[in-house]
Amino acid sequence: MLDSAGIMAAEISSRLDGGLDSFWLYGSAVTGDFRLGWSDIDFIAFAKRDISEKAAERLIMLRQEMTGKHPGNPFFRLFEGVIVSAEELRKGAFVRLVYWGTSGQRITNGFELDPFARYELAKFGSCVYGSAESGLFAPPDARELAAAVQRHYEGIRRYAVQTDERLYSCGWLLDISRCIYTLRTGEVISKTAAGEWALENGIFEDDAPLAKALEIRRAPLEYRDRADVREWLSSLGKAVQRYADKLEAELERFSETR
């Protein structure tokens, strides 16, 4: 995976007018929680200059181009992140950047690092290409992290009432575990580690769904094509919402203590 990151960074640099200043990995790619068949490769790449329209057009479909050139490489299609001018990030005002996400890619002028991502970049970020200027990433405070947890909670209430057959359906349980861990400690850990912590500390009354989610998370390729697993995943909505009830109580407790 790290070799693929270096190749991707060099390819991005070759398509930028002024080249690439640095390429950073964060998330599961640097916390030891990466699992092929589940995980994305989270990154942020800093251009040396503002990104021109032509350069952005050269970059927008690069994931797909690299996957086509290297059909035996499973990693290039997994990169998710932004290619942006470092100076624009410092100013907090963007003219043009390239975004690669789960649902597609786009050229945009809007961008904000999620507090969870900022924490991971500040604490664990790994510069795999170019100069390592970690001062670009200001770690969030407890208030910002709590606000991010609140947004996660609202998303769970909105989007996870009914789950589908994708493995990510049980990821809601791990996400809730991490949110609770963050509220209690002010820190961010990997979703797998948070799920293990929740089991060890008896955070949820019914921990069987979480235990199964962890089994799948540890070896997703072994579970993704099983009919019984797909059926279980599509029935997880009620369990996710029960876990969200616990997260709601934790948010209320956090608010009362501030």
pLDDT in tens, the chain (258 residues): 779 999 999 999 999 988 999 999 999 999 999 999 999 999 999 999 999 999 999 999 999 999 999 999 999 999 999 999 988 888 888 999 999 999 899 999 988 889 999 999 999 999 999 987 767 788 999 999 999 999 999 999 999 999 999 999 999 999 999 999 999 999 999 999 999 999 999 999 999 999 999 999 999 999 999 999 999 999 999 999 999 999 999 999 999 887
Quick one: angle between helices 168-185 and 142-159, nearest 10?
150
CA angle 232, 238, 244 (to 5 degrees): 120
Please state the pTM of the whole predicted model.
Answer: 0.93
Q: Phi first, then psi: give them for residue 186, nearest 5 degrees.
A: 75, 10
How many whole angstroms separate alpha carbon 11 and alpha carbon 7? 6
CA atoms within 13 A on the CB side of 148: 24
* Pairing verdict, β 104-108 and 126-130: unpaired
Q: How many CB atoms lie within 10 A of CB 207?
A: 19
How many whole angstroms separate alpha carbon 249 and alpha carbon 258? 15
How many whole angstroms separate alpha carbon 93 and alpha carbon 97? 11
> What is the full DSSP assignment across the chain?
-HHHHHHHHHHHHHHSSS-EEEEEEETHHHHT---TTT--EEEEEEESSPPPHHHHHHHTTHHHHHHHH-TT-SSGGGEEEEEEEHHHHHHT--S-EEEEETTEEEEES-----HHHHHHHHHH-EEEEE---GGG-PPP-HHHHHHHHHHHHHHHHHH-SS--SSTHHHHHHHHHHHHHHHHHHS----HHHHHHHHHHTT-SS--HHHHHHHHHHH-HHHHTT-HHHHHHHTT-HHHHHHHHHHHHHHHHHHHHT-
Handedness of CA 70, 75, 81, 83 (dihedral sign): negative
